[in-house]
Amino acid sequence: MENIKNLKSLAICFNLEDGLSPNREPTKRMLSAMDGMYLDNNALKNMIKEKDILVYEFYELGIPEDPGELAYGTTILYPGKIGDEYFMTKGHFHYKIDTAEIYYCLRGHGHLLMENAEGDIELREMTPGVSVYVPPKFAHRSINISDTEPFIMFFVFRADAGHDYKTIETKGFRKLIIEKNGKPIIIDNPKWKL
Ligand code: NI
């Protein structure tokens, strides 16, 4: 075991309560970074005027973007709503579109929404202990349906997959998760563009 410091392995702590790592800086997405992503953009703008709060944060650990490498980390999505729409991540396709991803829920209650270019939709409910396999070619977005708790997930994907945010920023997802009578429901996105 003497040579362990030459092994170039990594041991990184992600706290199970808040999902954060004590010695790494997460990437933060504030409300202002979500312009145009939600159904009610006026509600978003009014919220930003009041306070530009943190919607989610996630880790980019700087693993080399090579095909044999795996990128991983946690994503912490805070509770909140824009109008009737729950706080969510932007969502993305992978540039290398045939690469999959694994999510594992550590805390909270949310959904993972997935769709491919053909319009196939997958929606998975996540609570602590549930893992979801996001198949290749599916865009993916997480949605926090709790009023009080952060939705925290651990993720792993091929490090050279790359993130295509633009397609979703331009077109949106075909489906949205909104709250109706205190419950989450899935609806067609009226702003979705082909
Ligand atoms: Ni991904």
- Residue 8: predicted pLDDT: 80
For residues 82 and 167, give the distance between their C-alpha atoms in angstroms, rounded to a whole number: 22
Q: How far, in Å, from the CA of 46 to the mean position of ligand 1? A: 30
- Residue 6: predicted pLDDT: 53
Starting at the edge strand found earlier in the chain, the sheet holding 27-30 runs 27-30, 54-58, 70-77, 151-158, 101-107, 131-134
- Residue 7: predicted pLDDT: 58
- Residue 160: predicted pLDDT: 97
Whether 17 is in a domain gets the answer: no
- Residue 174: predicted pLDDT: 96
> Averaged over 158-185, what is the pLDDT?
95
Tell me how many domains the chain contains: 1
- Residue 23: predicted pLDDT: 87
- Residue 128: predicted pLDDT: 98
Q: How far, in Å, from the CA of 48 to the mean position of ligand 1? A: 27
Task: Tell how strand 131-134 and strand 101-107 pair up.
Answer: antiparallel
Whether 13 is in a domain gets the answer: no
- Residue 141: predicted pLDDT: 98
For residues 181 and 194, give the distance between their C-alpha atoms in angstroms, rounded to a whole number: 30
Whether 9 is in a domain gets the answer: no
Whether 79 is in a domain gets the answer: yes
Least confident of 65-69, 90-94, 151-155: 65-69
**39: domain CATH number?**
2.60.120.10
Q: In terms of residue numbers, what domain contains 93?
A: 26-188
- Residue 193: predicted pLDDT: 77
- Residue 55: predicted pLDDT: 98
Q: How far, in Å, from the CA of 141 to the mean position of ligand 1? A: 8
